Amino acid sequence: MTQNRSADVARKTKETDISVSVNLDGTGKADIETGIGFFDHMLDSLARHSLIDLKVRCKGDTHIDFHHSVEDTGIVIGQAIARALGDFAGITRFGHAYIPMDETLTRASIDLCKRPYLVWKVEFRRDKIGEMDTELFKEFFHALAGNGGMCLHVENIYGENNHHIAESCFKATARALRTAIAIDPRLGGAPASTKGSL
């Protein structure tokens, strides 16, 4: 399949100014600047383990808090992935991964079906990691799934270290996404659906 699976999306509001570039057939190169250190670290992991080349520039109202920047970045990354996938035909569609990080184990499952849904079974024992509010991780994944056409389930099975819990969520999602976006040559460009389209 020779389709160019890249996309650039920009979104500007009174709260944020965000641009995202993705290449689904990349090598996991990340160029991330959101103004939120821990979030940059997580997005770097998302790119590296999905093998999606990801460039993100976000200027947001972080003097208020990080909510708008994190949620809106999820929106734009999701839109860019969906645009790069086109009609979603020919892809494996489903993916899942278990990621262990020391004492922590997290799993993620994805269905790229254009029917977005998020199941989030993750709890943190601290309100912040670095300067980032832990409640914002759910907001990011909700925005990513909603705008990327993903049915996404993320579950931290067990864990104690909050950094490990957050990072394993991003890595598990990345690895599941890596499988789901892969072209299945046996499909011959057809959608992986009994309906004939997604």
pLDDT, tens only, 85-130: 999 999 999 999 999 999 999 999 999 999 999 999 999 999 999 9
The sheet with strand 30-33 has its strands ordered as: 6-12, 16-23, 53-60, 30-33
- State yes or no: pLDDT of 182 exceeds 60: yes
Reference 57, options 15, 7, 11; nearest CA is 11
- The pTM of this model reads 0.96
What are the C-alpha distances in Å from 66 to residues 37, 62, 120? 11, 5, 20
Domain ranges within the chain, ordered by starting residue: 6-187
- State yes or no: pLDDT of 136 exceeds 60: yes
Span 24-53, pLDDT tens digits: 999 999 999 999 999 999 999 999 999 999
Q: Which CATH superfamily is domain 6-187 in?
A: Imidazole glycerol phosphate dehydratase; domain 1 (3.30.230.40)
CA atoms within 13 A on the CB side of 51: 12
